Structure 1
Amino acid sequence: MFPGVDFHLLTYLGRIVDILLVTYVIYKLIMVIKGTRAVQLLKGITVILIVWFLSSFFALRTLEFIMQQVVTYGLLAIIIIFQPELRRALEQLGRGRFFSRSTVPQEEEASKSIDAIVKSANYMAKRRIGALISIERETGMTDYVETGIIMDAKLTSELLINIFIPNTPLHDGAVIIKENKILAAGCYLPLSENPFISKELGTRHRAALGVSEVSDSVTLVVSEETGNISLTKNGELHRDLKEDQLRELLEQELVNESRQTTSSRWQWGGKKSE
């Protein structure tokens, strides 16, 4: 019908384009759920599928039947479990941001954030102004952000201090920070149920430990009673920090992470320079 047109070549090119488009869509879906609890849920689903395959391979009929029922009715469960992530993806699609390029916090931005946090923490510690500041990293904190007042404001020491001034509407709760932005204030964080926590620690310290037990966030506490600064990460509590100690811990967790992320992206995009 079309002289000179190689339909086999067109079919071949069409398949390549099809594969590239599907790959890109899957990549963007991964970016949507990255940093949320859905990552852990996907790992659980992967384990279930592996068990189902092994039970079928080794003819374990009872286990295979159970796994088959789990997979059969799992679609509805997935929709329910992943409801926040699905809503997030649809919102981004509606705003035209689904296919936008994701940004990675750079070292300079992380340093600015640390400067603002350290400056505000020292100011509040000297005046014994209680504060609770949680910094989101890989594990998403959307559930906790939604319990507070959405701000989506640029991170500055002045704004942080104003939020925690006593008797203001937002002072009683946590501020959640991501990259160089204050996502929300007045947020509720889960309290730690660790029975070995010192009795002298109050609700802010228990909340800081609690959120560090369920996420990889870094959380800073300024005690209203003593003015001491503490920091929690991975279920660990670092108490009575001086300015240089606080800065060093934040740089270890935020600046070094930014360098590793940038380095890994460079190695993925091209050859590492010698």
Structure 2
Amino acid sequence: MKTPKILPLLLFVLFPLLIQGQIIDREQLLQDIKYLSSDELQGRKPLSEGSKKAQKYIKKRFKDLELTSQYQNYTQYFSFNNGGNNIVDAANIIAFIPGEKSQNIIVITAHYDHLGKQDDKIYNGADDNASGTAALMAMAAYFNENRPHHSLIFAALDAEEMGLQGAKALVNDFPFSLDQVILNINMDMISRNDNNELYASGTQHYPQLKPILKEASESAAVKLRFGHDIANSGNDDWTHASDHAAFHDKGIPFIYFGVEDHEDYHQHTDDFEKIDPDFYFNAVDLILNCTKALDENL
């Protein structure tokens, strides 16, 4: 029986669509966010046993990928003062992938800490920010197989909820010259939105990045919006709302991917069951496409 001539043509046309979305391992992504936001981790408050379990999990994922790091066992320990209390041995978990064509660096960040337990209620922080942390690991897996142009640092940051302390520690004790850092991509709350919208904040400050992002998002399943990055613009200014602020304050361009606040923001109801798996997967796929475009065009 002869193969119809239309079949090879259809396969040629549909093949890019068939492989799209397979770049990110959906099952692994959802497994990661589910574990990181589980009751077992007790809300991942810095220095808690739950935080240590999160650290162990992230480090294992980096080790399984055989990633390198400038820090022993992927861990950058740091201290800070919080309301008169000296916090010692908070920990950023950091991996490195060398670039093929450039010594410049893009730093990809997501904070893994959350609020812990309050009044016997566990603040699991599924969207804030197990979502960004799981996406960080998914992107590390992709770029481990697809070498980037620029070197990439993947930083799972601690103590964001206590004043962006992990990000401040990283930029103040960076393993390379900060002059080599050309961009920070930060992910914080990316797993749910009723309007199917994800924001890229930062292009008001760094307008050269917007055309790259617009082109990379043209065929995305999630709508990429721009804004939340300038005061008196009619919406909240997110310029200093998350870890990217520490980079911006050093004059390093940033793009912050996130959704607008929802009813479970900083509530004990921010659980895995509240995320939108389809939106989340598509949002991570979009962020990866934008990251690839930025890596190739900067």
Q: So what's the TM-score if we normalise by structure 1?
A: 0.30
Structure of larger gyration radius = 1
Q: So what's the TM-score if we normalise by structure 2?
A: 0.28
Structure with a larger share of its residues in strand: 2
